[in-house]
A and B are shown apart, each in its own frame.
Chain A
Amino acid sequence: MTFGRRLRSRIWRGSVEDEVDAELGFHVEMRARELEARGMSSADAHEAAVRRFGNIERVNATCRSIGKQRDRGMRRTEFLTELTQDLTFAARQLVHHPGFTIVALLTLSLGIGATAAIFSAVQAVVLRPLPVPEPSRILAVYTAFPQGRGSVSAGNFVDGIEPVSSFAATTAIRYSSFNLADTAQAERIIGAQVTAGFFDVFGVVPAHGRVFTAGEDRPGGPKVVVLSHRLWNRRFGANPSVLETQVRLGGQPYEVIGVMPATFDFTAQTEELWVPMAFTPERKAMHDEHQYQVYARLASGATSERALAELHRNAESIRVRYPKEAAELDFAAAKVMDELVGDYRRRLFTLLGAVGLVMLIACGNIANLLLARATARSGELAIRVALGAGRGRIIRQLLTESLLLATLAGAAGIALASWGVQALTAAAPPGVPRLEQASINPLVLTFTAVIVIASAIVFGLAPAVRASRTDVQGVLKEGGRGMGAGVAKDRLRTAVIVGELALALVLLIGAGLLIRSAMALERVSPGFDASHVLAARLSLPPTDYKAPERVLQTFEQVAAAASAVPGVRSASLTSQVPMGPGGNGNGLIPEGKPFDIKNSIQSRLRIVTPGYFDTMGISVVRGRALNAEDRRGALKVMVVSESLARALFADSDPIGRRVACCEPGPDGKSPDYKTVVGVAADTRWRGPAEPPSPEFYLPAAQIPANAWDWIQRTLYVTVRTTGDPATVINPLRSALAPIVPGVPLFDIRTMEQRIGASLQTARFNTLLLTILGGLGVVLAIVGIYGVIAYFVTRRTREIGVRIALGATRRDVIALVVRQAVWPVGLGVAAGLIASVMATRLLRNQLFGIGPNDPMTFAGVAVAVTLVALTASFVPALRAAGSDPTDALRTQ
Chain B
Amino acid sequence: MASRSDASGMLHGTLDALILKTLTWGVRHGYGIARWLEEATGDAVPIEEGSLYPALYRLERRGLIEAEWGLSELGRKAKFYRITAKGRRQLAADTEEWTRFSAAVSKVLIPSGA
Contact = CB atoms under 8 A, between A and B. Distances in A.
Chain A bound to chain B: yes
Interface of A: 2, 4-5, 7-8, 11-12, 19-20, 22-24, 26-27, 29-31, 52-56, 58-59, 62-63, 66-67, 69-70, 73
B58 interface: yes
Interface in B67-101: 67-69, 72, 76-79, 82, 84
Nearest to A55: B50
A24 B79 CA distance: 10
B51 A5 contact: no
B51 A59 contact: yes
A54 B48 contact: yes
B6 interface: no
Given A26-B76, A27-B31, A4 B49 contact: no
Contacts of A62: 53-54, 57
A59 B50 contact: yes
Given A54-B50, A59-B51, A67 B57 contact: yes
B67 A26 contact: no
A8 B50 contact: no
Contacts of A26: 29-31, 72, 76-79
Contacts of A73: 61
B69 A8 contact: yes
Given A52-B49, A53-B50, 20 more contacts: A4-B68, A4-B82, A8-B66, A11-B68, A22-B77, A23-B30, A23-B53, A24-B53, A26-B77, A26-B79, A27-B30, A27-B34, A27-B53, A53-B49, A56-B50, A58-B50, A66-B57, A66-B58, A70-B57, A73-B61
A819 to B, nearest CB: 57
B68 A54 contact: no
B60 A27 contact: no
A63 B66 CA distance: 15
A821 B30 CA distance: 73
B67 A8 contact: yes
Contacts of A19: 79
B43 to A, nearest CB: 14
A8 B49 contact: no
B84 A2 contact: yes
Given A27-B49, A52-B49, A8 B68 contact: yes
Main secondary structure of the interface of A (DSSP, over half): helix
B61 A70 contact: yes
Contact of B57 (A7, A12, A63): A63
Nearest to B48: A54
A63 to B, nearest CB: 5
A323 to B, nearest CB: 89
Closest 9 CB pairs of A and B: A54-B50, A66-B57, A70-B61, A59-B50, A30-B31, A62-B54, A8-B68, A54-B48, A27-B31
Nearest to B80: A8
A22 B49 CA distance: 16
B77 A66 contact: no
Given A55-B50, A59-B53, A66 B79 contact: no
Contacts of A56: 50
A73 B30 CA distance: 23
Interface in B1-51: 29-31, 34, 48-51
Nearest to A67: B57
A495 B4 CA distance: 72
B51 A54 contact: yes
19 contacts: A2-B66, A4-B68, A4-B82, A7-B68, A8-B67, A8-B68, A8-B69, A22-B77, A26-B72, A26-B77, A30-B72, A31-B31, A54-B48, A54-B49, A55-B50, A58-B50, A63-B54, A67-B57, A70-B60
